[in-house]
Every structure is written in C-alpha cells, then in structure tokens.
Structure 1
C-alpha cells in the first residue's frame, strides 16, 4: 500500500466508526423521545418536566438514560420497572409536581 492508499483506508475506517456512532445516537434519541411521551402520559406532566424526570431517574440510579428510557417504555406497556427505578420514578414525579405547584 502506498501512503495515499493507507490514508484513504484509515479515513474510510474512521468514517465507518463515526457512522456507527451516529446511527446509535439516532436510535437512542428516538427511544428517549418516546419515553418522554410515556412519562407525559403516565405522570400527567408537561414534556419538559418529563425529560427532567427521566434525567433524574438516570442520575439517582446511576443508570444510562437510554436504558431508563427502554425500561420506562416497557413499563408503559404493562411491563415491570426495576424496583430501584420505580422508586426513583415515583420520587422524581413527586418532586416535579411539588416544584410545579410552587412556581409562580
């Protein structure tokens, strides 16, 4: 291989890796958006507050947001939510509702 060919092969591999990452990000984003919708319905709260609930559950359980979103979607369809996540989900909803009542 010549230097030019090697550089092209390296660039091609870099682009393949970037493409995989972008595809994963798109799927993850869609999953989180769907979970936000589920939290809106389940919690009867606005969309921006639903995002905060997902974020809080993720942070307080030390679980990736994408995984929380998967679990919430299963829960919304009648499945189980792991107990630590369910407990934190309820606490996050309570905190959100209290905060929204105290805002002017």
Structure 2
C-alpha cells in the first residue's frame, strides 16, 4: 500500500496495488499523448515557417493558410503540415492540397505563377 499522490483525482488515502497500477497506466497514456501533441505542434510550426517563406506572409496568415488547406481538403492539419514540409524540401504535394495551397496563397495576394511547383502538372 502507498499513499495517494497529491492530485484532485484521489482524496488522501491508501491506494491498493490495483489502484496504483491503474494510475500508472493512466499517467503513461497521458505522457504519450503529450509527447504526440508536442511532436505535432513542432511539425505544424515548421510548416508555418515554410508557408511564411513561400508566400512571404505573416505567421498569422500562414496559420490561416494551413488551417484552410486542412479544412478544404478534409485532411488532418498535422498531415498537411508534414506534406508541406516534404514539399519545402523538394518533394511533391498531393494535388488537392497543392491546388488549395495555391488558392489560399492567392487570397493573400501571392501569385503562384512565380512558383512553378504550385502550378498543376
């Protein structure tokens, strides 16, 4: 038996081995979720940077562009960010995402005609 951790989840009392095991599992899953969120956040931040450079936009505008591409292509934001990072490194961008990115950049006054990689193949 052990005393419960200081948290709002349990009132101070002795925990059984089963309760400790459950709390340990819960904390491990929470830790894994936080790690995934941090990785996702970093990927999205880097993709925002790529869009800032590509479109010569402010970070807030780049965020709006990423979000719009995600929503209009029904693709998770993290996945769009990963694709844009590959694109920034010379890879290709899936057709619907490329077209949506081109349209969103044009909404902010960026002429995609200057960037042949954004034009349809």
- Given the two structures, how large is their TM-score scaled by the length of structure 2? 0.77
Question: Which of 40, 50, 70 is matched with 1:58 structurally?
Answer: 70
Q: 1:4 aligns with which of 11, 16, 21?
A: 16
Which structure is higher in helix share? Answer: 1
Q: Select the structure of larger CA radius of gyration.
A: 2
Question: d(CA) in 2 for partners of 1:60 and 1:97?
Answer: 19
Q: Which has the higher contact order (CA 8 A, sep 6+)?
A: 1
Match of 1:32 in 2: 44
Residue 18 in structure 1 maps to residue 30 in structure 2: yes
Q: 2:81 aligns with which of 69, 74, 86?
A: 69
Per the TM alignment, residue 96 of structure 1 is displaced from its structure 2 partner at its CA by 2.6
**Paired position in structure 2 for 1:101:** none
Shift of 1:44: 1.0
Q: CA RMSD in A?
A: 1.2
Structure 2 portions without partners, runs of 5+: 1-14, 111-121
Contact persistence 1:36–1:51 (CA under 8 A): yes
Deviation at 1:10, TM superposition (A): 0.3
Distance 2:109 2:18 in 1: 58
> d(CA) in 1 for partners of 2:77 and 2:89?
18
